[in-house]
Amino acid sequence: MATITRRAALAAVPALLAAPSLRAQGANPGAYPSKPVRIVVPFPPGGLVDVLARSVSQSLATRLGQPFVVDNRAGAGGNIGADLVAKAAPDGYTLLASSMGPLAVNQFIYPSMPYDTNAAFAPITLLATTPKVICVANNRPWRSLAELVAAAKARPGQLTAGSAGSGSSLHLALELFKGATGTDIQHVPYRGAAPAVTDLVSGNIDMVIDNVPNILAQIRGNGVRALAVATEKRLPQLPDIPTATEAGVNFRFGTAFGMAAPAGTPDAIITAVAEAVATALQDPAIGGKLAEQGTILGGQGPRAFAALVEEEKRTLEPVIKRANIRAD
């Protein structure tokens, strides 16, 4: 699973932080940036990638000496904003902060793409990964993952699982879970994760496999029942919730968010931005607050993020094809 590479990539952090900055490499100190930089977020304000981009933007401005301005350009599953970056000048003044959809998997979901996913971007760094947690409605009888799986096998196609829409990370998590457990669970797409969670709290659907930061408050407030986390180890935020592996299911999955630039952007600029992001995420005022909500921080640099993007493609392409997932 993609989480293995994410874990292994952590070893790259010290090397990145020790790398020389743009100025130390002998570049003209005024060369980059000499004017404000735009960070395009291809989703509406308030989502996880928007929060991450805004969280690091001030630190980027402080370290690199120019404003880094977040610009939300939502639509087409992130393709509209990503296309704007793909076609921008490769000079470091237009960057992308995104989930893996526009960077890796949308090409397998949308019948046509406005840019070449495999050639359009230069990876900068992983911002964070949000682990998934398997939750069920409180009015359902299942108290463990084993009980949920047994119920799904006893009633093929009858249990319902909400997602943020066809092709969303919640939908992909469901398909991976079905493959790992040999179950048939009915997918119920919503326009975003929030309405899916609302229906779960109301008992209108059976389950959701959501990002921990999205649903943590409902878990802690007993609005939903968490059965397992899709991580290698238990989460500090949910210490009493077993991993899926502990519960007997080989299922690990998280949603990755990262930054990229147009292909052809100079390596010195990529390195400078990656360094500044790593520094921001180490700041307790930024990274600490994100980690409190169940976010696993990134900052490993371009090579590790490029490897992660490629692994995401390899992992999810067969899942998407097998489930015949198409964009809404």
Please state the domain extents for the chain. 2-129+256-323, 131-229
CATH topology of domain 131-229: D-Maltodextrin-Binding Protein; domain 2 (3.40.190)
pTM for the model stands at: 0.84
Query: What is d(CA 318, CA 124) in angstroms, rounded to the nearest whole number?
Result: 26
Q: Mean per-residue pLDDT for 13-24?
A: 40
pLDDT of amino acid 16: 41
Each as own residue / partner, the long-range contacts of residues 263-268 (CB below 8 Å, 24 or more positions apart, any chain) are 263/86, 263/90, 263/119, 263/120, 263/121, 263/122, 264/90, 264/122, 265/90, 265/91, 265/92, 265/122, 266/90, 266/92, 268/22, 268/25, 268/27, 268/32
Q: Mean per-residue pLDDT for 110-115?
A: 95
Residue 227 · residue 241 · CB < 8 Å:
yes
pLDDT, tens digit, for every residue of 230-276?
999 999 999 999 999 999 999 999 999 999 999 999 999 999 999 99
CATH topology of domain 2-129+256-323: D-Maltodextrin-Binding Protein; domain 2 (3.40.190)
Residue 314's CB: how many other CB atoms inside 10 A? 10
pLDDT, tens digit, for every residue of 147-182?
999 999 999 999 999 998 888 999 999 999 999 999
Q: Mean per-residue pLDDT for 312-326?
A: 93
Nearest to 258 by CA among 72, 75, 104: 104
pLDDT, tens digit, for every residue of 82-105?
999 999 999 999 999 999 999 999
pLDDT of amino acid 28: 43
pLDDT of amino acid 46: 86
Give the confidence band of 14 by pLDDT, cuts at 50, 70, 90: very low
pLDDT of amino acid 47: 84
> Does residue 29 or residue 277 have the better pLDDT?
277
With b meaning 16 or more CB within 10 Å and e meaning fewer, what string describes 92-101?
bbbbbbbbbb
pLDDT of amino acid 316: 94
